[in-house]
Structures are given as structure tokens and as C-alpha cells.
Amino acid sequence: MSQYFADIAPVTFEGADSTNPMAFRHYDPQEKLGGKTMEEHLRFAVCYWHNFVWEGNDPFGGQTFQRPWFPADTMELARAKADAAFDMFRILNVPFFCFHDHDVRPEGSNLAESHKRLNEMADYFEKKMADGGPRLLWGTANMFSNRRYMAGASTNPDPDVFAYCASTVKACMDVTHRLNGENYVLWGGREGYETLLNTDLGRELEQMGRFLSMVVEYKHKIGFKGAILIEPKPQEPTKHQYDYDVATVYGFLKRFGLEDEVKVNVEQGHAILAGHSFEHELAMARTLGIFGSIDMNRNDYQSGWDTDQFPNSPSEAALAYYEVLMAGGFTTGGTNFDAKLRRQSLDAEDLIAAHVGAMDICARGLKSAYRMIEDDALEGPRRARYAGWDSADAQAMLEAGATLDGIAARAEAADVKPQPRSGAQEKLENIVNRYV
């Protein structure tokens, strides 16, 4: 055990009346909703990058955090960081964790050395995972931080960068497969452009489509059974992202025939940056059949960038998990906290308390969503609103062979005079508030 979290006891469930900030009030891992425990429903994961790599910088200031493993530029420090990470996973008793390659090992002098270091850390992880550590929800590659990616990764105008990316993703997929990861995520932080003056848009989209196709082909080649996930994001750092939102990603997948091979990892903060709500993006993913996993966080609604704060709204969580449950729940996916402390939250306890609160918010949201579905509280009114479409005449308008002029003739012959009906939004909002 590392010494960083040495004075912090494992977090336990104490119930809704507890005033202990280091205990769960709502998240009881063994509480059952239907035939599944809350742990099985929520499938919590802790991310490696914000908790153990981020130094507390923001666009206007540098490092505020001082961790004993910083700057983690040696393998010894990388192992010390892993020791602290797995201690934190144990304290929170989370079933999963997630990482980028760049999070867990210092970059080598060349590709071969970077891959060697990644595999050494995978060996280290394997021992810790076998000793009761959490499972791997997903692995991914950081192809946005280094200056080589300033013009994109797979979309880069330099073919050597494309090749570098191919080698990096292959190595990360191999490690994810070896660690029995349940998904592999592709987030193209710079897969987009800043100005059309120097961009061949069509070429870059073709490169990205071919790269993703090769990722899918390699998945099958090595026998990886997990899901390939794309994480949509509309902007920041790249001004015009090719993976703007769920609908954009779906259109891209359809274009390259990958809609049955790739799903999405939807992040709340990214949904807000795209001008959507989290539940909108989740509903879209569910409706299009590409729902995979979620990154749970929130944005500061007054800021213009991705602040990655821990979730604190039970109503937002309830509407999000409503969509998750309506999608059939998680299969390979889960709830990853892609969230970070505020720059002034300096202590080890702050890392634990932030996750405790976030896990409780998600548990409250899940229970509210489950009850709403169980009581038919929203689906009943929704079905009633569309009930007119259940008639044979209405269905006939949508069948093959129906024509615009034929429908028009029927409407004129029947002298239809439709009258608006209330959408009853306020009543439905009141219903939601009763559950949360």
C-alpha cells in the first residue's frame, strides 16, 4: 500500500441519515433493483487521468497539486502512481477503472520504448487486478496531448503521424485485450480542424473512416470481445470536431458501414458543449442503436469550456439513468467518472469525498429512474400522446406503397380538422420532481 491514502478507511454504506462525508448515503452496492444489484446496474469506474495525472492547471494557471508520484517521468514513479491508484480503487470499492496509455507510463524515446513501458505497466496492473483490484472498463490512447498531434491523429496531413497512431492504438488494444478490458474507446481530441484555409475536409474524413475500419478489423483479428466506442465531443481543443455529437457520429458510422460495429461513450460535459442535454444524447444513442457507455460529470454552465466537474444534480442523473435503463441497461459499458477536483481541493481526502458524493448522486438518480419506469410514470403519458398512430388507418400511411398524393386525397375526402392537444410538459416535470 502507498502512503498517500494511508489514513483513509474504506468507504461503506451508512444510509440516508448519515452525516459522514466519507460514507455512502444512497449507494448500497448490494441493494437490488429488479434482478440486479446497484453495483451491477451502475458499473462504476474511476478514471486514471484526472485523478492521478492532472496537476491542477487550467487555461489561466499552472500546477496546484503536489502528489508524491509527480512528475511520473520514470517507471519507478509510474509504479508509485499505480500503487496510489489501486489503493483509491480499494477504498471506494469500485468494480472498474479506465486509463490512457499516456496516463500510466512515461513516454519513451521512440515507439518501441513507449510500448515496452506500457506492457511493463500492464504486467504491474495484472498482479494488482489478480489481488482483488478492479477490472478494466476500457482502455484508450492519448492522441491529442503531444505536439505531434496538433493537426490531428488519424486525420493528420502527415502520413507518418497516421502510422504512429496505428502503432499506438494497436499497442493499447493489445494491452486492453490482455487485461480483459470490456471496451476500447477512441476519443479524437484533435480529429477536426481549426480553419478550412489549410484543410482538405474530404480527405481527412476518408482517413478517419479507414482508420476506424482498421481498428474494427484488428479487434476481430485478435479476438477482442469488447465493444469499440467513440466518444463524441463538439469542440475544445479543435474548433470543428468530426465527432461533434451522437447524431454526427452515427452519420459517420453509416457512411463507412460501421454502425453495427461501433457504439458511443457519451459524456455529460460534451453533450452540454454541443448544445444538448445529457439525456438527449443518451436518448439519441439508444434510438439509433449505438448506446455503449457513459462518462459521468458536469460542466459549469457559465463557462465556455469542458470543466469536468463531479455530478451533483439528482434530477440530471435521474433523467440520464432513465435513458440508460430504457436502453436495457449497460452491457459492456458502465459509469466512468471523467471528472476532476477543483484546483483548490488539494488533499487526498478530497479525491475520495468527490467520488463518494458522485456515486451517491448516481445511485439516487438510478433509483428515481427505476421507479419512474416501474410506475409507468412517463411512458404511460407518452404512449397516450401517440395513441392515434396505433390505428390501422394511421399505420397505413407509413407502410410501403403509401403515397403523398394518396394520403392527401384521403385527408381531403374525410375533411380532417385536427386540433392541437397539450403536450403537458409542466405536469410531466412535476412527475419527475416527485421521484427525485
Catalytic site residues? Answer: 100, 103
Written as nine digits, the cell of 412 is 381531403
3-state SS assignment for residue 266: strand
Q: What is d(CA 99, CA 49) in angstroms, rounded to the nearest whole number? A: 7
Angle between helices 348-374 and 314-326 in degrees, nearest 10: 60
Written as nine digits, the cell of 26 is 444512497
Written as nine digits, the cell of 39 is 453495483
- 508520484: which residue's cell? 69
Q: Which residue, among 143, 236, 252, 251, has the nearest Cα to 187 in the 3D structure? A: 143
Q: Which residue, among 60, 119, 81, 107, has the nearest Cα to 4 in the 3D structure? A: 81
User: Count of CB atoms within 10 A of residue 424's CB?
Assistant: 13
Residues 6+ away with beta carbon under 8 Å from 329: 36, 41
Tell me how far apart the terminal alpha carbons of the chain are, to the nearest angstrom: 39
Q: Looking at this protein, which amino acid is placed at residue 369?
A: A
Q: Which residue, among 265, 261, 270, 271, has the nearest Cα to 292 in the 3D structure? A: 265
Instruction: Classify residue 263 by its DSSP letter.
Output: E
Q: Looking at this protein, which amino acid is placed at residue 30?
A: Q
- 462504476: which residue's cell? 44
Ramachandran angles phi, psi of 220, nearest 5°? -70, -35
Q: Which residue, among 154, 228, 221, has the nearest Cα to 185 in the 3D structure? A: 228
Angle between helices 425-435 and 348-374 in degrees, nearest 10: 120
How many H helices and E strands in the chain?
Answer: 16, 12
Longest dimension (CA), the chain: 82
